[in-house]
Structure 1
Amino acid sequence: MKPRTRLLAGIAVAVLSTAVVWPDRTPVEMPAPQRNQEAGAPAVAPPASVPATEIAGAEGASSAAEAIAEADPTEMPPTPVNTDPAALAYAGPDQMQSRDAKPPHALSVARPDLDAITVEADSVTQIIDLYRKGNIAEGDALAASLSGAAARTLVEWIAIRHNGSHLGFNRLSAFLADRPDWPQRDITQRYAERAMWRQKLPPATTLSFFSRREPESADGKFALALAYQQSGDKESEKKAHTLVQDAWRNDPVDRDLERAIRESFPAVFTADNNRARLERLAFRKDWTSAQRLAADIGPTEVKLLKARMAIDRGGNMKAALNGLNAAERAEPLIQFVEAQELRRQGKREEAAAIMLKAPTKRDAVVEGDQWAKERQRLARGLLEAGKPQLAYDIIKPNVAVSEADTIETEMLAGWIALRFLDKPDLAAKHFTAAEPHADLPTSVARVAYWRGRAAEAAKNAVDADTFYEAAAQHVTTYFGQLARAKLGKTDLPVNPPVTGDVLARASLEKGEIVQAIRLLYHLDERRIATLLLDELARNVQGADTMTAVAHIAASLGDTRAELVVGKRALYRGFPLDRTAFPTSGIPTFETAGDSVEKSMTYAIARQESAFAADAVSSAGARGLMQLMPATAKATAQKAGLPFDVDRLTSDPAYNATLGTAHLGELVGYWRGSYILTFAAYNAGPGNVRKWIAAYGDPRDNGVDTVDWVERIPFPETRNYVQRVMENLQVYRHILSDRTALFIERDLRRGAFQ
Structure 2
Amino acid sequence: MQPVETGRAKSERAFGRNRLKAATAIVLAGLTSLPDAALALSPTISGASMPAVGPQDFSEGLPAATPAIAYGSGDVVQVAAPSGALAQAIALASSGKGREAYALRNTMSDPIDRLIIDWLLVRNGDSVMTSSMITAFARAAPGWPTMKLFRARAEQALQRENPTPQEVIDVFSGNQPETADGARLLARSLLATGQAQAAAKVIRHAWVTDTMSDVNQKAIMTEFGSMLTPADNMRRAELLLYAENAKRAQALDPILPAAERAYVDARAATIREAPDAARLMAAVPASMRNRPGYKYSMIQLYRRAGQYSDAAKLLLSVPNDRAAQIDPGAWWDERKMVSRKLLDQGDYKLAYQIVADYVPDGNADDLDAEFHAGWYALRFLNNPNLAVKHFTQLARFAKTPISVSRGQYWLGRAQEARGDRGAAANAYRAAAAYGMTYYGQLARARLGIHAPGVGGVPQPTGADKSAFSRNSMVQAVQRMAAAGAIDKTLPFFTALGETLPTPGQVTLLADLADKYGKHHFALSVAKTAQNRGLPVGGLAFPTAGIPRTTQVPADLERPVVYAIARQESVFNPGAVSPAGARGLLQLMPATAQLVAKRAGLPYSQPRLTNDPAYNATLGAFHLDELVGNFNGSYIMTFAAYNAGPRRVSEWIAKYGDPRDPRVDAIDWVERIPYTETRNYVQRVMENVQVYRERLGSGQLAIDRDLKRGSSGG
TM-score bracket for this pair, using the shorter chain length: 0.7 to 0.9
Query: 5+ residue gaps in structure 2?
Result: 18-75
1:425 correspondence with 2:389:
no
Name the SS of the counterpart of 1:619 in structure 2.
Answer: coil
Secondary structure at 2:489 match in 1: helix
1:556 equivalenced with 2:525 (yes/no): no
The equivalent residue for 2:33 is none
2:479 paired residue number: 519
Task: Map 1:460-471 to 2 at 5 A.
Answer: 460-471=420-431
User: What is the match of residue 404 of structure 1?
Assistant: 364
* Residue 257 (structure 2) pairs with residue 298 (structure 1): yes
Residues 230-629 of structure 1 correspond to what in structure 2 (within 5 A)? Answer: 245-253=204-212, 269-316=228-275, 317-398=277-358, 403-589=363-549, 591=551, 595-629=555-589
User: Could you list the per-position Cα deviations for residues 623-644 of structure 1 after superposition, in whole angstroms to 9, with x for gaps in the alignment?
Assistant: 1111122222222222222222
Is residue 34 from structure 1 mapped to residue 27 from structure 2 by the alignment? Answer: no
- Are the counterparts in 1 of residues 181 and 216 from structure 2 also a CA contact under 8 Å? no
Letter in 2 for 1:591: Q
CA contact 1:172–1:188 (8 Å) conserved in 2: yes
Match of 1:682 among 633, 639, 642: 642
Secondary structure of 2:7's partner?
A: coil
Distance 1:426 1:650, change over 3 A: same
Give the distance between the partners of 1:114 and 1:53, measured in 2 at CA: 53
After TM superposition, the structure 1 = structure 2 runs for residues 612-651 of structure 1, keeping only pairs within 5 Å, are: 612-651=572-611
Counterpart for residue 35 of structure 2: none
1:33–1:616 contact (8 Å) kept in structure 2? no
CA deviations on 1:541-597 (whole Å, 9 max, x unpaired) are 244434433443343332112102211221232222222111111112353656410
With over 3 angstroms needed to count, the CA separation of the structure-2 counterparts of 1:630 and 1:371, relative to structure 1, is: same
**Alignment identity in percent?**
38
Give the number of the structure with larger relative contact order, counting CA–CA contacts within 8 Å between residues 6 or more apart. 1
1:149 to 111, 116, 132: 111
Whole-angstrom CA distance in 2 between matches of 1:414 and 1:501: 44
Counterparts of 1:713 and 1:165, CA distance in 2: 47
Deviates more, 1:497-506 or 1:664-673: 497-506
CA distance in 1, matches of 2:508, 2:268: 54
Separation in 1, partners of 2:541, 2:432: 18
- Cα distance in 1 for residues equivalent to 2:500 and 2:340: 41
Q: Secondary structure at the match of 1:158?
A: helix
Q: Counterparts in 2 of 1:685-724, with a 5 A limit?
A: 685-724=645-684
Taking the aligned partners of 2:396 and 2:173, their CA distance within structure 1 comes to 29
> Cα distance, 1:218 vs. partner?
5.0
Q: 1: distance between equivalents of 2:394 and 2:573?
A: 38
The alpha-carbon distance between structure 1 residues 135 and 661, as it changes in their structure 2 partners (threshold 3 A), is same
The equivalent residue for 1:38 is: none
Letter in 1 for 2:233: N
Task: Choose from 52, 66, 69 the match for 2:7.
Answer: 52
Deviation at 1:752, TM superposition (A): 5.0
User: Matched residues in 2 for 1:448 and 1:418: separation?
Assistant: 14
Tell me if structure 1 keeps the 8 A contact 2:260–2:288. no
* Distance (Å, rounded) in 2 between the aligned partners of 1:214 and 1:325: 36
Matches within 5 A, 1:664-683: 664-683=624-643
After superposition, the Cα gap between the structure-2 partners of 1:52 and 1:262, relative to the gap in structure 1 and judged at 3 Å, is: closer
Identify if the C-alpha distance between structure 1 residues 752 and 118 changes in structure 2 by more than 3 Å, giving closer, same or farther: same
The partner residue of 1:116 within 65, 71, 80 is: 80
- CA pair 139-241 structure 1, distance change in 2 beyond 3 A: same
TM-score, scaled to structure 1: 0.78
- For residues 389 and 163 of structure 2, the distance between their equivalents in structure 1, rounded to whole angstroms, comes to 52
User: Cα distance 1:418–1:272, how it changes in 2: closer, same or farther (>3 A)?
Assistant: farther
Give the aligned residue type for 1:497. V
Distance 1:396 1:503, change over 3 A: closer
Tell me the equivalent position of 2:99: 137
Q: Deviations over 1:270-329 (max 9, x none)?
A: 333332211111222434432232321311111112222223223123333342244544
CA distance in 1, matches of 2:637, 2:518: 29
2: CA distance, partners of 1:505 / 1:226 = 52
Indicate how the Cα distance of structure 1 residues 489 and 244 shifts in structure 2: closer, same or farther if over 3 A, else same: farther
Which whole-Å CA distance do the structure 1 matches of 2:146 and 2:645 have between them? 40
Over residues 66-102 of structure 1, what are the superposed CA-to-partner deviations in whole Å (9 max), with x where a residue is unaligned?
Answer: xxxxxxxxxxxxxxxxxxxxxxxxxxxxxxxxxxxxx
State TM-score, norm by structure 2. Answer: 0.83
CA distance in 2, matches of 1:135, 1:700: 64
Q: How does 1:186-265 map to 2 (within 5 A)?
A: 186-195=148-157, 216-217=178-179, 245-253=204-212
* Cα distance change, pair 417–220 in 1 and its aligned pair in 2 (3 A): farther
- 1:709 is paired with a residue whose SS is helix
User: What is the Cα deviation at residue 709 of structure 1?
Assistant: 0.7
Tell me how far apart the structure 1 counterparts of residues 286 and 530 of structure 2 sit (CA, whole Å): 52
Give how far 1:153 is off. Answer: 0.9
Q: Are 2:412 and 2:425, in contact at CA under 8 Å, matched by a contact in 1?
A: yes
State the Cα deviation string for residues 396-427 of structure 1 (Å, max 9, x = none): 23368783323212221221122112222333
Give the structure 2 partner of residue 99 of structure 1.
none
Alpha-carbon distance in 2 for matches of 1:214, 1:328:
32
Residue type matched to 2:104 in 1? L
Preserved contact between residue 412 and residue 427 of structure 2 (Cα < 8 Å): yes
* Equivalent position of 2:23 in the other structure: none
Amino acid at match of 1:407: L
Contact 2:385/2:418 (8 A) holds in 1 = yes
Task: Return the alpha-carbon distance in structure 1 between the equivalents of residues 334 and 352 of structure 2.
Answer: 14
Q: Is the 8 A contact 1:595 1:661 kept in 2?
A: no
Instruction: Assess if the C-alpha contact under 8 Å between 1:369 and 1:401 holds in 2.
Output: no
2:414/2:424 contact within 8 Å kept:
yes
Corresponding position of 2:704: 745
Secondary structure in 1 aligned to 2:251? Answer: helix
